[in-house]
Amino acid sequence: MNRGVLYGVSAYLMWGFFPIYFKALQVVPSLEIMLHRVVWSFIFVASLIILRREWPKLRESLRNPRLLLVYILSALLLATNWLVYIYGINSGQIVETSLGYFINPLVSVALGVIILRERLRPLQWAAIGIAALAVIYLTVQVGSPPWIALALAFSFGLYGLIKKIAPLGALQGLSLETGLLFIPAALYLLFLDFQGAGAFGQVSLSVTILLALAGIITATPLLLFARAARAISLTLLGILQYIAPTVQFLLGVFLYNEPFTLTRLVGFSIIWIALLIFTFEGLNERRKRITSVVTPT
């Protein structure tokens, strides 16, 4: 197997199995888990930055107010995404979190059109329209929009959009994002400890260890993904991204026995049809470009 593909598959499999990890922390409030994730992620990636002697370059970026503003926004989007995701898992809504990441590619394309003025091909428009119909159908049938799925899709879509124009690499960017959130997160966790309400070191040894490992668990798939993105085509990477929500969906239905009603089946099926159209359109367009390059004129 191509090493880049191996990195990509590994990253998406790790993301796919995240529900098992966060379910083990179910006794801890979602906000507290998210804050521990921020604190320990910063400690882990900052250690890597120091070991790789990249701190001077990162420190230089702190003197750029415009860059800082970009990363403050991306940090807030990342924290929102993490919080909603953890809440979704620990409130028994893993299936809906998977829906968010199924529709995320289509949301990202739509944001590209709205914000970056990118042009879409007809089948791409069709895929986005079909996905929108699925959301409308689920809203009408259930009585309310799938808020968790939409919050995950839009927060991560906007985060990806910002990362597309942000100048720092994956490791430095994550270091800056978690660094910007580190002080308020650490202060709130210390406040909880002083109040005797914190989980770290109080609930059980296993919970304390899992909270401390949140940094490694968070950063490892991000670093694998960054290596994969440099080694394989974006088309292939786009296909691999469906691994994570598929694994999450299977875990929610078969391991945690979440209800998967006829309404959800219809809604998910519409989304999957949209994704099939979107994926095959992208593959066909890539094949045409390769053929036009190879065929002599």
pLDDT in tens, 221-265: 988 887 887 777 666 777 788 899 999 999 999 999 999 989 989
User: Two tokens at 217?
Assistant: 């668990």
Q: Backbone phi, then psi, for 171, in 5-degree steps?
A: -70, -45
State the pTM of this model. Answer: 0.89
Query: Nearest to residue 278, comparing CAs of 242, 250, 248?
Result: 242
Q: CB–CB of 88/151 below 8 Å?
A: no
Q: CB–CB of 271/127 below 8 Å?
A: no
Q: How far is Cα 157 from Cα 256, in angstroms, rounded to an integer?
A: 27
Q: How far is Cα 249 from Cα 16, in angstroms, rounded to an integer?
A: 9
Q: Tokens 């985060």 appear where?
A: 159
Whether residue 85 has pLDDT greater than 90 = yes
Max mean pLDDT among 31-40, 57-66, 131-140 falls in: 31-40
Q: Tokens 């590209």 appear where?
A: 112
Give me the domain span that covers residue 147: 3-294
What digits encode the pLDDT tens for the residues 148-207? 999 999 998 898 888 777 788 778 888 999 999 999 999 999 999 888 888 887 878 999
Q: How far is Cα 45 from Cα 54, in angstroms, rounded to an integer?
A: 11
Domain tally, the chain: 1
| Mean pLDDT, rounded, for 84-99 | 94
